[in-house]
Amino acid sequence: MQYGYFDNENREYVIDRVDVPVSWTNYIGVKDMCGVLNHTAGGYLFYKTPEYHRITRFRPNGVPMDRPGHYVYLRDDDTGEYWSISWQPVGKPLDQARYECRHGLSYSRYLCDYNDIKAEQTLFIPIEDPVELWDVKLHNSSGRERRLSVFSYCEFSFHHIEMDNKNHQMSLYASGSSFEDGIIQYDLFYEEDGYQFFTSNFTPDGYDCVRDTFLGSYRTETNPLAVERGECSGSTELGGNHCAVLHKKLVLQDGEDARLIFMLGEQGQENGKAMRKKYSDATYVDNCFAELAAFWDDKLSQLQIHTPNEGMNTMLNIWTLYQSEINVMFSRFASFIEVGGRTGLGYRDTAQDAMTVPHSNPQKCRQRIIELLRGLVTQGYGLHLFQPEWFDTQVKKQSFKSPTVVPTPDKNQIVHGLKDTCADDALWLIASIAEYIKETGEFSLLDEVVTYADGGSGTVYEHMTKILDFSTEQVGEHGICKGLRADWNDCLNLGGGESAMVSFLHYWALEYFIELADHIGKTDDALKYGAIAKNVKTVSQEVLWDGKWYARGITSKGRKIGVHSDVEGRVHLESNTWAVLSGVAGNEHGKQCMDSVDEYLYTPYGLMLVAPAYQTPDDDIGFVTRVYRGVKENGAVFSHSNPWAWAAEAKLGRGSRAMKFYDALCPYNQNDKIEIRQSEPYSYCQFIMGKDHTAFGRARHPFMTGSGGWSYFAATRYLLGIRPDFNQLIIDPCIPADWEGFTAVRKWRGATYNITVQNPDGVEKGVKTVSLNGKCLDGIAVPQQPEGSENDVTIIMG
Ligand code: GLC
């Protein structure tokens, strides 16, 4: 069953059946202001941080689902009937009204056709200002004059998520609203910058700022009293809960259009006035919308592909890059699942995200890299979860101070010890830095001096050596890296034992580093770390190979897990994919272990993280044994880890297998299985229930997951094989044998490469010839071309 379709020409996903089983979300804003919105305009807005500066309120995990939102009500003033453009919250029966939601890149558009009135509401945030625009267009197609009322509605939030969800003895008396000259001002009086405004391009006929006055007692957003009556009360108050309602009465002749623009922005009255002036100009608003499209054009144009796989084209050309970018822009804690209560940056998640889009967002990747380097302690491990502001001397510290005393953590509390360290966290950063340099050529980044979280400073290069040295030192009695608190798998604690995954990651990071050190002439370091890498490889091969696949780790009690004698948790995805991806596994073991992955972990919805799922609680293994079978880390299709298998298969040269895995997870391919998948088909989700769960195939937690970035990274760099190196562009595809080829346009360091890959012999990997602008080259790489040049690259596989 499907609820919508991909409109690639407009780069939109169109939901034409709006009663989707769960919220289908989108993100608006590309800078400091961000809105998380669903297909019925439910959701919330924040400025810079969803933790401290929330603008509109959200009631997560609630009933009715995912409210409130940024709503527009329409009312027929002759009959008193009313409805909302985005279907909810009024929710007219779908056999009487037609609704559509178009989620685009950084905007969402809601359309409705009811009562012979066509209406649309587009929500977006212009690049240059922190102001959310609600661009509302109405058309009377009824053949007669109509008297209509339009009401905006959103509910303001206390800025701090804690304040908004508890401590109401304080927060309920700390915010106020006022109205003057068509502008609503909302304020949190005790905060220096605690102001927002709401205004419009018209002179309102009425307003309400007090939520409960607008809604009325024992009512919800579904049936607000003021809308029912067709009149607002002009309510404002100091204290209480606030909303932004502006009412406009319209008379529309047959065939007549109206356009109303609402603006919800940062700062109070004064700025509201300026913004009102600026954005009341509809042409200007159109230009801002066009600018946003151009912003995304530029990002997407860094790599566009045309392959025989339509799902892959749609995802990589539009949605997967978009998802990856959203993760880098807003980090992971702003969604309907994580509603902003967790702090700052997760070390490993951010490090991985930053690795995936240096071509389309080098500035933000660089910023993230620096933030993470500052969150590294001198011993070489990263702070698992931290606020980048803590270590940024340039940033004005949070002006918010809770009026009720909440002790501020001192340095010793911020800098955690080994007991809270996840052994993988900082290792990811080595690859992010190397990939950033490969993309941009900015080698000088390595010499930049950055502070450590616990004091002192060193160059970026020194930070990198500390990360590698930490893992070299932190090994257990079998010579495998300790997982410490946990490795990438948060739930697999091994009682603090040894983690195969971390040793493989260590090897992977070492290889990146050695290549870099070699390239910049640090030969001694290349040799030194080369010897370490050799040792990691030998020990890992000896200790972890289990006959047909690699063990997942060794618990603190010395028990190997993920081995053939295990009844539960026999085969794990992380260790096997990483054995290959890192380069530790040779060809033979590599192929064998990935065959085991195919045999034990494959499902039509992707690869499960582990099989059989655990069902006996065992704290020596970890929390994973207390997770329901088939859910999340315990045997779900944990999406983040699937692309590792695509990359591993590509390394082994098995393109058809890699594509089988790619296609299984690909959300596009589940567009017509929404009765099973439930979630958005345009976004990878954190996980899909595994075989051992009754809801096998149900996807959960869209957008904010490492699967976006990793899918993009693995599919573009390993399957399509297009990856920049320090001074050349490597093109080494691994594709299904039945592909006759594909084309791609890749921009790299200011030059454009029009790539044509031909596969006349039906191979899966291997490049016979490469030609650049008609001339044959040696090897599989194209040397960097001058900025501004257009280049034709032809690859013949064979
Ligand atoms: C979640 C966490 C991530 C972790 C993964 C596996 O996605 O955000 O850090 O690696 O789960 O446990």
Distance in angstroms (rounded) separating the CA atoms of residues 50 and 343: 9
| Cβ partners under 8 Å of residue 502, min gap 6 | 423, 424, 427, 471, 480, 481, 482, 483, 487
Distance from Cα 505 to the centre of ligand 1, integer Å: 16
Is there an atom of ligand 1 within 6 Å of 634 CB? no
- Which atom of ligand 1 has the smallest separation from the CA of 633? 12
Distance in angstroms (rounded) separating the CA atoms of residues 103 and 227: 27
Give the model confidence (pLDDT) of 114-168 as tens digits.
999 999 999 999 999 999 999 999 999 999 999 999 999 999 999 989 889 888 9
Is the pLDDT at 190 greater than 90, yes or no?
A: no
Pocket-testing residue among 384, 490, 499, 638, ligand 1, by greatest number of atoms within 8 A of Cβ: 490
Q: What is the mean pLDDT of residues 381-402?
A: 81
pTM of the model: 0.97
Distance from Cα 781 to the centre of ligand 1, integer Å: 35
Is there an atom of ligand 1 within 6 Å of 231 CB? no
Distance in angstroms (rounded) separating the CA atoms of residues 400 and 510: 42
Q: What is the mean pLDDT of residues 747-763?
A: 98
Protein residue closest via CA to atom 9 of ligand 1: 349
CA nearest to 607, candidates 527, 688, 526: 688
Is there an atom of ligand 1 within 6 Å of 490 CB? yes
DSSP string covering 575-637: HHHHHHHHT-S-HHHHHHHHHHHHHHHEETTEE-SEESPP-S-BTTTBGGGGSPTTBTTBTSE
Phi first, then psi, for residue 421 (nearest 5°) are -90, 135
Q: What is the dihedral of CA 613, 617, 622, 626, to 10 degrees?
A: 70
Is there an atom of ligand 1 within 6 Å of 732 CB? no
* Residue 66 identity: D
Please report the pLDDT score of residue 192 as a whole number: 83
Please report the pLDDT score of residue 483 as a whole number: 97
Phi first, then psi, for residue 687 (nearest 5°) are -155, 160
| Cβ partners under 8 Å of residue 23, min gap 6 | 38, 39, 40, 42, 65, 66, 336
Are the CB atoms for 18 and 39 separated by under 8 Å?
yes
State what percent of residues in the chain have pLDDT above 90: 93
**Helix, coil or strand: residue 275:** helix
Phi first, then psi, for residue 75 (nearest 5°) are -135, 135
DSSP string covering 671-710: TT-HHHH-S-TTS-EEEE--TTSTTTT-EEEESSSHHHHH
Distance in angstroms (rounded) separating the CA atoms of residues 407 and 433: 36
Pocket-testing residue among 420, 640, 684, ligand 1, by greatest number of atoms within 8 A of Cβ: 640
Q: Is 779 exposed, middle or buried (0-12, 13-18, 19+ CB in 10 A)?
A: exposed
Instruction: Walk across the sheet containing 82-84 and list its strands.
Output: 82-84, 71-76, 146-153, 242-252, 206-210
Phi first, then psi, for residue 622 (nearest 5°) are 140, -175
- Which atom of ligand 1 has the smallest separation from the CA of 491? 12
Distance from Cα 632 to the centre of ligand 1, integer Å: 10
Average the pLDDT over each of 211-220, 306-315, 398-407 and give the range with the smallest value.
398-407
* Mean pLDDT of all residues belonging to the chain: 96
Is the pLDDT at 399 greater than 60, yes or no?
A: no
Average the pLDDT over each of 9-18, 289-298, 403-412, 526-535 and give the range with the smallest value.
403-412
Pocket-testing residue among 348, 349, 687, ligand 1, by greatest number of atoms within 8 A of Cβ: 349
User: Residue 357: how many CA atoms within 13 Å on its side-chain side?
Assistant: 28
Please report the pLDDT score of residue 163 as a whole number: 86
Please report the pLDDT score of residue 752 as a whole number: 98
Distance in angstroms (rounded) separating the CA atoms of residues 537 and 646: 22
Phi first, then psi, for residue 254 (nearest 5°) are -60, 130
Is there an atom of ligand 1 within 6 Å of 488 CB? yes
**Residue 490 appears among annotated catalytic residues:** yes
State what percent of residues in the chain have pLDDT above 70: 99
Are the CB atoms for 240 and 212 separated by under 8 Å?
yes
Distance in angstroms (rounded) separating the CA atoms of residues 732 and 384: 35
Q: What is the dihedral of CA 303, 306, 307, 310, to 10 degrees?
A: 100
Q: What angle do CA 669, 675, 679 make, to 5 degrees?
A: 65
Distance from Cα 338 to the centre of ligand 1, integer Å: 13
Please report the pLDDT score of residue 393 as a whole number: 81
| Residue whose token pair is 């993920």 | 562
Are the CB atoms for 306 and 743 separated by under 8 Å?
yes
Distance from Cα 641 to the centre of ligand 1, integer Å: 10
Is there an atom of ligand 1 within 6 Å of 424 CB? no
Distance from Cα 368 to the centre of ligand 1, integer Å: 18
Is there an atom of ligand 1 within 6 Å of 289 CB? no
Please report the pLDDT score of residue 343 as a whole number: 74
Name the helix (H) or strand (E) containing 244. strand 242-252
* Confidence band, pLDDT 50/70/90 cuts, at residue 490: very high
Strand ranges inside 105-219, DSSP E? 107-114, 117-124, 131-140, 146-153, 175-180, 183-188, 195-200, 206-210
Give the model confidence (pLDDT) of 229-238 as tens digits.
999 999 999 9
- Which atom of ligand 1 has the smallest separation from the CA of 686? 7
Distance from Cα 86 to the centre of ligand 1, integer Å: 33
Q: What is the mean pLDDT of residues 556-585?
A: 98
- Which atom of ligand 1 has the smallest separation from the CA of 346? 9
Give the C-alpha distances (Å, rounded to integers) separating 427 from 488, 509, 511: 11, 6, 12
Distance from Cα 488 to the centre of ligand 1, integer Å: 6
Q: Which of 193, 490, 618, 725 is catalytic?
A: 490
Peptide bond into 68 cis (omega under 30): yes
Distance in angstroms (rounded) separating the CA atoms of residues 471 and 317: 37
Give the model confidence (pLDDT) of 550-567 as tens digits.
999 999 999 999 999 999
Please report the pLDDT score of residue 397 as a whole number: 62
Please report the pLDDT score of residue 542 as a whole number: 98
Is there an atom of ligand 1 within 6 Å of 487 CB? no
Are the CB atoms for 354 and 432 separated by under 8 Å?
yes
Is there an atom of ligand 1 within 6 Å of 211 CB? no
Please report the pLDDT score of residue 517 as a whole number: 98
- Which atom of ligand 1 has the smallest separation from the CA of 348? 9
Distance from Cα 490 to the centre of ligand 1, integer Å: 6
Q: What angle do CA 193, 370, 321 make, to 5 degrees?
A: 85
Please report the pLDDT score of residue 666 as a whole number: 98
Encoded tokens for 205 = 């006929």
Please report the pLDDT score of residue 411 as a whole number: 73
Please report the pLDDT score of residue 189 as a whole number: 83
Distance from Cα 345 to the centre of ligand 1, integer Å: 13
Angle between helix axes 460-473 and 427-440 (nearest 10 degrees) is 150
Is the pLDDT at 208 greater than 70, yes or no?
A: yes
Distance in angstroms (rounded) separating the CA atoms of residues 24 and 701: 10
Please report the pLDDT score of residue 408 as a whole number: 74
CA nearest to 737, candidates 663, 655, 797, 648: 655
Give the model confidence (pLDDT) of 621-633 as tens digits.
999 999 999 999 9
Distance from Cα 351 to the centre of ligand 1, integer Å: 12
* Confidence band, pLDDT 50/70/90 cuts, at residue 402: low
* Confidence band, pLDDT 50/70/90 cuts, at residue 403: low
Protein residue closest via CA to atom 8 of ligand 1: 349
The secondary structure of residue 341, as a DSSP letter, is -
Distance in angstroms (rounded) separating the CA atoms of residues 126 and 132: 7
- Which atom of ligand 1 has the smallest separation from the CA of 488? 10
* Confidence band, pLDDT 50/70/90 cuts, at residue 401: low
* Residue 137 identity: K
- Which atom of ligand 1 has the smallest separation from the CA of 424? 10
Is the pLDDT at 395 greater than 90, yes or no?
A: no
- Which atom of ligand 1 has the smallest separation from the CA of 706? 7
Phi first, then psi, for residue 777 (nearest 5°) are -115, 160
Distance from Cα 489 to the centre of ligand 1, integer Å: 6
Protein residue closest via CA to atom 6 of ligand 1: 489
Please report the pLDDT score of residue 307 as a whole number: 98
In terms of DSSP bridges, do strands 571-572 and 602-603 run parallel, antiparallel, or are they unpaired? unpaired
| Rounded CA Rg of the chain | 27
Is there an atom of ligand 1 within 6 Å of 686 CB? yes
